[in-house]
């Protein structure tokens, strides 16, 4: 079966057409500037990328353009839309309502809408994409795959904040966690790759990208994760602050004459490694800066790596041990310097690094030495494939 995987943002839409038997990507691309003007990127497997400007007043026109491109006479990946057996949609927030993926029905969508308040920037965009697909592909089964679902197994002690309990009761204020599709995929895949029994395993996944989060996975189930009510908590990220003393918000608001929205904008868009380095949110730029002697670029990489190591240490405590650690996502897969610095803090766990293996990037690889007490791996994430698999399993 061919599965169309859709990941809708507020003004963008990423897509992949995946054959579920071979797990090959038949075509992929994205729509950008939806609601502004519109740019479609389309790439059939084995061919060059095509970039076209085309009006996309709403997500519906964007999806129509994607479907047209998929069946285009010259570079289409399929002959007709009948060859799309199902659509898998990424949905950011499922609150406590969804502990796993779910087939999309009117009732299911109404439940997703109840979670909109928890992710006001993301969930409404996800729903627009789903409704557009329903209009354009009536009768094709669709599945929603939630970023939060994998983390729903966290125990109360991990998800409750030290806040008045009534905020949890009235508003659902608790830790939810994100990147769940990636944490689930990578933990399972690493267990397979290492020949471990996932039902008897202690795994830590470090998903380090532009947004970063870490999870503790005990016997295949998430028991803790670093992102919280929103994706702002946890590690310092490309532009997000991660954990800070909450009192900093009032202090900065007064000093800089900002309201709550102004402070949130700073914490979401101007902080993290961008804020520390004053140079960039991209680790490639930070590495270049560091090589040129820029001390703030070096500080940004140090702060990030130190915090990753501290989270790993805390999750070793949460699980009373660890068997294997996975590095994944843009930074985790491609930045040997970050992995080296993180593992430099973990000698007490009996971790020893294979420097030669750690200099590589981007493929399943063990980067610890054979005698290391904990296995450390690079495991490239593949959220689209994970969504396609979930979709096939449910339809």
Residues contributing to the site for ligand ADP (CB under 6 A) = 209-211, 238, 281-284, 329-331, 334-335
User: Which residue, 112 or 227, has its beta carbon nearer to ligand ADP?
Assistant: 227
User: Which residue, 75 or 210, has its beta carbon nearer to ligand ADP?
Assistant: 210
101 — phi, psi (to 5°)?
A: -65, 160
State in angstroms the smallest separation of the CB of 305 from ligand ADP. Answer: 13
What count of other Cβ atoms lies within 10 Å of the Cβ of residue 353?
Answer: 20
State in angstroms the smallest separation of the CB of 157 from ligand ADP. Answer: 28
Q: How far apart are CA 90 and CA 180, in angstroms?
A: 11
State in angstroms the smallest separation of the CB of 112 from ligand ADP. Answer: 22
Written as one string, the DSSP assignment of 259-317 is: -HHHHHHHHHHS-HHHHHHSS-S-HHHHHHHHHTT-HHHHHHHHHHHHHHHHHHHHHHH
User: Which residue, 2 or 150, has its beta carbon nearer to ligand ADP?
Assistant: 150
Q: How far apart are CA 367 and CA 365, in angstroms?
A: 6
| Nearest Cα to Cα of residue 99 among 148, 156, 155 | 148
What are the catalytic residues? 147
State in angstroms the smallest separation of the CB of 10 from ligand ADP. Answer: 15
Contact 353, 338 (CB under 8 A): no
Fill in the DSSP letter of residue 192. H
Joined together, the tokens standing for residue 32 give 């950008």
User: Which residue, 76 or 228, has its beta carbon nearer to ligand ADP?
Assistant: 228
Q: Please, which residues have CB within 8 angstroms of residue 296's CB and are 6 or more apart in sequence?
A: 276, 277, 278, 279, 289
- For 376, the enclosing helix (H) or strand (E) is strand 375-378
State in angstroms the smallest separation of the CB of 210 from ligand ADP. Answer: 3
User: Which residue, 50 or 288, has its beta carbon nearer to ligand ADP?
Assistant: 288
User: Which residue, 144 or 238, has its beta carbon nearer to ligand ADP?
Assistant: 238
Fill in the DSSP letter of residue 20. T
Q: Which residue is nearest to ligand ADP (CB)?
A: 330
State in angstroms the smallest separation of the CB of 330 from ligand ADP. Answer: 2
Q: How far apart are CA 284 and CA 17, in angstroms?
A: 30
Half-sphere exposure of 221 (CA within 13 A, CB side): 10
Burial 136-160, CB ≥16 within 10 A → b, else e: bbeebebbbbbbbbbbbebeeebbe
Contact 148, 180 (CB under 8 A): yes
User: Which residue, 224 or 384, has its beta carbon nearer to ligand ADP?
Assistant: 384
State in angstroms the smallest separation of the CB of 278 from ligand ADP. Answer: 16
């Amino acid at each position: 079966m061919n599965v169309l995987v859709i990941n809708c943002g507020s003004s963008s839409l990423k897509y992949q057409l995946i054959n579920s038997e071979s797990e090959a990507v038949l075509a992929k691309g994205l729509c950008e500037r939806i609601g502004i003007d519109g740019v479609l990127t389309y790439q059939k497997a084995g061919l060059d990328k095509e970039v076209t400007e085309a009006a996309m007043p709403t997500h519906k026109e964007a999806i129509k353009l994607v479907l047209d491109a998929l069946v285009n006479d010259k570079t289409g990946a399929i002959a007709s839309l009948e060859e799309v057996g199902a659509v898998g949609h990424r949905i950011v927030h499922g609150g406590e309502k969804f502990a796993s993926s779910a087939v999309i029905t009117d009732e299911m969508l109404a439940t997703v809408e109840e979670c909109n308040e928890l992710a006001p920037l993301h969930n409404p965009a996800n729903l627009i994409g789903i409704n557009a697909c329903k209009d354009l592909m009536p009768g094709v089964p669709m599945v929603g795959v939630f970023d939060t679902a994998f983390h729903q197994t966290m125990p109360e002690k991990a998800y409750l904040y030290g806040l008045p309990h009534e905020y949890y009761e009235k508003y659902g204020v608790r830790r939810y966690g994100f990147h769940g599709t990636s944490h689930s995929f990578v933990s399972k895949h690493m267990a397979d790759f290492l020949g471990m029994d996932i039902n008897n395993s202690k795994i830590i996944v470090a998903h380090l990208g532009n947004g970063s989060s870490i999870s503790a996975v005990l016997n295949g189930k998430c028991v803790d994760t670093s992102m919280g009510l929103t994706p702002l908590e946890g590690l310092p990220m490309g532009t997000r602050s991660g954990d800070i003393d909450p009192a900093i918000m009032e202090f900065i608001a007064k000093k800089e004459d900002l309201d709550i929205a102004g402070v949130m904008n700073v914490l979401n868009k101007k902080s993290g490694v961008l804020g520390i380095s004053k140079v960039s949110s991209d680790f490639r730029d930070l590495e270049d800066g560091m090589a040129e002697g820029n001390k703030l670029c070096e500080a940004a990489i140090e702060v990030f790596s130190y915090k990753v190591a501290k989270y790993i240490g805390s999750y070793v405590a949460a699980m009373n041990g660890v068997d294997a650690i996975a590095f994944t996502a843009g930074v985790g897969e491609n930045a040997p310097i970050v992995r080296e610095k993180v593992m430099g803090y973990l000698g007490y766990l009996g971790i020893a690094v294979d420097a030669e293996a750690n200099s590589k990037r981007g493929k399943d690889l063990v980067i610890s030495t054979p005698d290391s007490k904990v296995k450390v791996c690079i495991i490239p994430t593949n959220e689209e494939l994970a969504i396609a698999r979930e979709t096939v399993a449910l339809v």
